[in-house]
Copies of this chain bind each other. A is one copy, B any other.
Amino acid sequence: MTHELISQLFMPRFKNTMLESLMDSTLFEVNKGRLAVSTDGFVVNPYFFPGGNIGDLAINGTVNDLLMSGATPLYLTVSFILEEGLPFEHLVTIAESMASATKSAQVQLIAGDTKVVEHGSADGLFITTTGIGSVPDGVNWNPQEVKPGDQIIVSGTIGDHGASVLASRYEMDFDSNIVSDTCHLRDLVLAVRDLPGIRCMRDPTRGGLATTLYELAQASQLNYRIYEKQVPIAESVRGLCEVLGLDPLYVANEGKLVAVVSKEVAETVLTRFQQLEAGKNARIIGEITEELKGWPTLVTPLGASRILDLLSVEQLPRIC
């Protein structure tokens, strides 16, 4: 049955000569240089949500992790864990979303695996993707390159993905206009990769913007100061978060990036982002200071400042 699943469901949708070899491993040619590799498991519940499903999420998520190191994403592998009884038409929809997402992100799926577990031993399906990309010479993005005075840019509204999953999880009515932002960040990254002064990028997924800033602040040992009124948040997402008592700064994104760039190139990066659909709501949201090394801080509209600490408990489990 696994043979049939592979030959009838997956093969026609991910047609390429490398995958067709059906070997235990797949070979590909590389030039001398640096490769980036990233792996991510996806367990989002429910696996269909407004704006996407676990399939395109699994492609975009790993593609974006590669992009965040400045890599051009090239190849993906995918491993499915399927629960017995998963409706076949759901799997077809998910496979089609994955095919479409790989095409859009210009990556090739070159190896895969499928395991089936009994009903009750998994929750629908889980997908693990691993990506390989090439990093051009001269691109060395790293939070340790961040310097005081650098600017913090976010590529669009935050919290959309987490809010859409939450809304669909609880089948809420009032939120029908909230849609996941799941998409690849290829265009945004490639539009600015040639610029000097790009220090580092991250995609604020699990744990949202605040958790990403915390991790960057710890890695840079500098203060990441952002201004509350500068952070773009859709009204619908803000409303949902208020009702549920959630802080949108900690809600997951799946099609946004945070870039830390030198003051000199900040406006150029912003303009290039805003010219792209994926970056039309990009904003400069703050800057790097030396005041509270290792911590991110949020400046409220009244000028008060508070630390954005790591949440000890995940606010939203199984958001990706």
Q: Are B113 and A40 in touch, CB under 8 angstroms?
A: yes
Q: Are A25 and B130 in touch, CB under 8 angstroms?
A: no
Map CB proximity to B onto A238-255 as digits: 1 under 8 Å, 0 otherwise: 000000000000000000
Q: Are A77 and B39 in touch, CB under 8 angstroms?
A: yes
Distance between A112 CB and nearest chain B CB, rounded to angstroms: 7
Q: Are A41 and B113 in touch, CB under 8 angstroms?
A: yes
Map CB proximity to B onto A107-138 as digits: 1 under 8 Å, 0 otherwise: 00011111111101111001010111101000
Once A3-B310, A25-B66, A81-B126 are accepted as A-B contacts, the answer to whether A30 and B39 lie under 8 Å apart by CB is: no
Q: Are A25 and B37 in touch, CB under 8 angstroms?
A: yes
Map CB proximity to B onto A276-320 as digits: 1 under 8 Å, 0 otherwise: 000000000000000000000000000000000010111001100
- State the number of copies, please: 2
Residues of B within 8 A of A1 (CB): 312-314
Query: Which residues in chain A, 68-92, are within 8 Å of chain B measured between CB atoms?
Result: 68-69, 71, 75, 77-81
Once A25-B69, A31-B32, A81-B126 are accepted as A-B contacts, the answer to whether A132 and B43 lie under 8 Å apart by CB is: no
Q: Are B37 and A81 in touch, CB under 8 angstroms?
A: no
Q: Are B128 and A41 in touch, CB under 8 angstroms?
A: yes
Q: Are A24 and B69 in touch, CB under 8 angstroms?
A: yes
Does chain B have a CB within 8 A of A34?
yes
Q: Are B130 and A130 in touch, CB under 8 angstroms?
A: yes
Does chain B have a CB within 8 A of A28?
yes
Q: Are B77 and A37 in touch, CB under 8 angstroms?
A: yes
Query: Which residues in chain A, 177-197, are within 8 Å of chain B measured between CB atoms?
Result: none
Once A1-B312, A43-B81, A130-B77 are accepted as A-B contacts, the answer to whether A38 and B22 lie under 8 Å apart by CB is: no
Does chain B have a CB within 8 A of A16?
no
Q: Are A2 and B314 in touch, CB under 8 angstroms?
A: yes
Does chain B have a CB within 8 A of A36?
yes
Residues of B within 8 A of A219 (CB): 22
Map CB proximity to B onto A89-113 as digits: 1 under 8 Å, 0 otherwise: 0000000000000000000001111
Map CB proximity to B onto A15-53 as digits: 1 under 8 Å, 0 otherwise: 000000111111111111111111111110100000000
Does chain B have a CB within 8 A of A202?
yes
Does chain B have a CB within 8 A of A203?
yes
Residues of B within 8 A of A128 (CB): 39, 41, 79, 81, 113, 128, 130
Distance between A13 CB and nearest chain B CB, rounded to angstroms: 17
Does chain B have a CB within 8 A of A65?
yes
CA distance A27 to B69 in the complex (A): 8
Q: Are B39 and A112 in touch, CB under 8 angstroms?
A: yes
25 contacts between A and B (CB under 8 A): A1-B314, A2-B314, A21-B142, A24-B64, A25-B38, A25-B65, A25-B131, A26-B37, A27-B36, A28-B35, A29-B34, A29-B35, A30-B33, A32-B32, A37-B77, A39-B77, A41-B114, A43-B117, A43-B121, A45-B121, A113-B128, A116-B314, A121-B122, A121-B123, A132-B132
